[in-house]
């Protein structure tokens, strides 16, 4: 039997230790009269493991799955299955989700790999709007969804840690629960993503559900509202459909995105019905203990293959009064949002350029120290939506955004992960597509201010869509 046919995780699993952890959790569940999590982490001797590819190879058709990478950082996270799911929330969905996650982990029996990061991790995301995601194609991704996977695999540069999770209840047979958990481990395979040679005779069809003129008109109305003093900025988005001759393969789309955007947060949130994939340049929030990091990102222009032209475009962006004003709205709102929960908030004085494959942005890093314990999910709720994807003031921008006539679903919402210490990171879901069979729903948006040119803003959405469309056409 070849190495690819043997579970890459099995060698690190001590089945007797797994049974002991489960026995403790079942005993605790009997005493507490409620379900208790059993979680075991093991080190895996596989420094070359492609976590994402292995998740795509190992997933079962009926399973949820999650992949997260920032290739340049050396971090990869892959998750399979659902030991527990947090969804169907009312009120403040971020605070409610954070509370539910903490409740599940309370009194858990957790055995972590000594000296290495690991342990149970939550993965998932949130729709842009609490009432979003009602369109049929968003049906498997509700407005709030955090999943505690059956298996998670975390790789930080050369270190690989696998975690298996099981929810134990009073009366469970510990050996049966441990066997079921071990079976999930046994089913995990190391893999690679195959190269695809698209059929040149069958080019995908690209459609716009609403005519481009509709978007141009919406931008003009938004601009006029800013000029009239009704608001400072509004972000408007549009949707483009790509219809292929065969179902899109999430693994191939994800692989194309991470290869083309190694500095971005590359993600795939998968369900049995659909896959939400993207490569976002924008960090919404990262929590490491009491330290919070985020980035104000707004204002963009295209790239050029000519280095001199590329530098000229970047300098012109840095000096653009229109783009600088739009950017400052975002940076100031982020600072104001963090101040009530922080000891201090610090932002860079001037924005820098962030360059990805086909576009460059103005970006200002912002850091803060928490004054009170808030999880990364809570912090995502504090910051979302920033004016980079919503508007300022938000209550007025929200009304203008109805002109989009678009269910954004998870587009521009927070996607990411949180560990058992409530650290983690969420990005803003940009440069993304929802894949359903042979149809891909793609999204792009622009910030509208007083100096916006509607035709130029339409052209900017085309630039933002270009990289994603290129990957889809090749998939």
Query: Does 200 score more than 70 pLDDT?
Result: no
**Which residues make Cβ contacts (< 8 Å) with residue 95, sequence separation at least 6?**
378, 381
Check if the beta carbon of residue 125 is closer than 8 Å to that of residue 415. Answer: yes
Please say whether the structural domain 205-474 has been given the CATH code 1.10.10.10.
no
Does the annotation count 460 as an active-site position? no
Q: What residue spans define the domains of the chain?
A: 3-186, 205-474
Higher-scoring residue by pLDDT: 6, 447: 447
Tokens of 331: 């940076």
233 is catalytic: yes
Q: pLDDT at position 301, please?
A: 86
pLDDT value at residue 89: 85
Average pLDDT, the chain: 90
Q: Which of 23, 69, 232, 282 is catalytic?
A: 282
Q: Is 7 in a helix, a strand, or coil?
A: strand
Query: For position 7, what pLDDT does the model report?
Result: 64
Residues in the chain: 475
**Range in 1-15, 242-256, 392-406 with the lowest mean pLDDT:** 1-15
- Mind listing the pLDDT tens digit for each residue in 218-233? 999 999 999 999 999 9
Q: Is 411 exposed, middle or buried (0-12, 13-18, 19+ CB in 10 A)?
A: buried
Find out whether 231 and 403 touch, Cβ atoms under 8 Å.
no
Q: Is 334 helix (H, G, I), strand (E, B) or coil?
A: helix
Mean pLDDT in residue range 180-184: 86
pLDDT at 463: 86
Q: pLDDT grade, residue 197 (50/70/90)? A: low
Which residues, other chains included, contact 259 with Cβ-Cβ below 8 Å and sequence gap of 6+?
none
pLDDT digits 0-9 by tens, 283-314: 999 999 999 999 999 888 888 888 899 889 88
SS3 track for 231-266: CCEEEEEEEEEEECCCCCCHHHHHHHHHHHCCCCEE
Give the model's confidence band at 198: pLDDT under 50 very low, under 70 low, under 90 confident, else very high: low
pLDDT attached to residue 382: 97
Options 233, 335, 460, 464, the catalytic residue? 233
- Listed in sequence order, the residues at least 6 apart from 423 whose beta carbon sits closer than 8 Å to its beta carbon are 287, 288, 289, 376
DSSP state, residue 297: E
- The pLDDT tens digits of the residues spanning 337-386 come to 999 999 999 998 888 998 887 788 899 999 999 999 999 999 999 999 99
**Predicted confidence band of residue 78 (pLDDT cuts 50, 70, 90):** very high
């Amino acid at each position: 039997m070849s190495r690819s046919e043997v579970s890459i995780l099995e060698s690190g699993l001590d089945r007797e230790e797994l049974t002991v952890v489960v026995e403790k959790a079942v005993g605790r569940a009997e005493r507490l009269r409620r379900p208790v999590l059993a979680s075991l982490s093991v080190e895996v001797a596989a420094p070359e493991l492609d976590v994402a590819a292995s998740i795509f190879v190992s997933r079962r058709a009926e399973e949820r799955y999650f992949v997260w990478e920032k290739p340049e950082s050396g971090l990869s996270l892959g998750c399979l299955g659902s030991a527990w799911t947090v969804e169907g929330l009312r009120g403040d969905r971020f605070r409610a989700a954070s509370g539910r996650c903490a409740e599940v982990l309370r009194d858990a029996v957790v055995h972590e790999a000594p000296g290495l990061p690991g342990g149970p991790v939550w993965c998932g995301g949130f729709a842009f709007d609490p009432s979003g995601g009602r369109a049929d194609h968003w049906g498997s991704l509700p407005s709030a969804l955090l999943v505690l996977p059956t298996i998670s695999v975390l790789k930080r540069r050369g270190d690989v840690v696998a975690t298996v999770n099981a929810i134990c209840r009073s009366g469970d047979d510990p050996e049966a629960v441990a066997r079921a958990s071990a079976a999930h481990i046994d089913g995990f395979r190391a893999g690679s993503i195959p190269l695809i040679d698209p059929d040149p005779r069958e080019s995908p069809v690209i459609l716009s559900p609403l005519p481009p003129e509709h978007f141009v008109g919406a931008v003009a109305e938004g601009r006029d509202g800013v000029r009239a003093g009704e608001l400072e900025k509004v972000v408007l988005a549009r949707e483009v459909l790509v219809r292929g001759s065969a179902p899109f393969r999430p693994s191939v789309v994800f692989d194309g995105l991470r290869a083309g955007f190694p500095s971005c947060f590359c993600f795939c949130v998968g369900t049995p019905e659909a896959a939400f994939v993207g490569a976002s340049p924008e960090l919404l929030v990262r929590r490491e203990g009491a330290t919070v990091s985020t980035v104000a990102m707004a204002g963009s222009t295209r790239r050029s293959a000519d280095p001199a032209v590329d530098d000229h475009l970047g300098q012109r962006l840095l000096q653009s009064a229109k783009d600088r004003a739009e950017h400052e709205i975002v940076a100031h709102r982020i600072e104001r949002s963090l101040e009530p929960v922080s000891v201090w908030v610090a932002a860079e004085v001037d924005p820098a350029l962030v360059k990805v494959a086909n576009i460059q942005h103005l970006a200002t890093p912002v850091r803060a120290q928490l004054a009170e314990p808030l999880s990364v999910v809570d912090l995502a709720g504090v910051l979302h939506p920033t004016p980079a994807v919503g508007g300022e003031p938000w209550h007025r921008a929200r009304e203008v955004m109805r002109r989009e006539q678009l269910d954004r679903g998870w587009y521009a919402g927070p996607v990411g992960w949180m560990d058992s210490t409530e650290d983690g990171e969420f990005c803003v879901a940009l440069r993304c597509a929802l894949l359903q069979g042979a149809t891909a729903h793609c999204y792009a948006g622009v910030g509208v201010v007083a100096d916006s040119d509607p035709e130029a803003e339409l052209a900017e959405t085309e630039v933002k869509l270009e990289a994603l469309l290129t990957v889809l056409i090749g998939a």
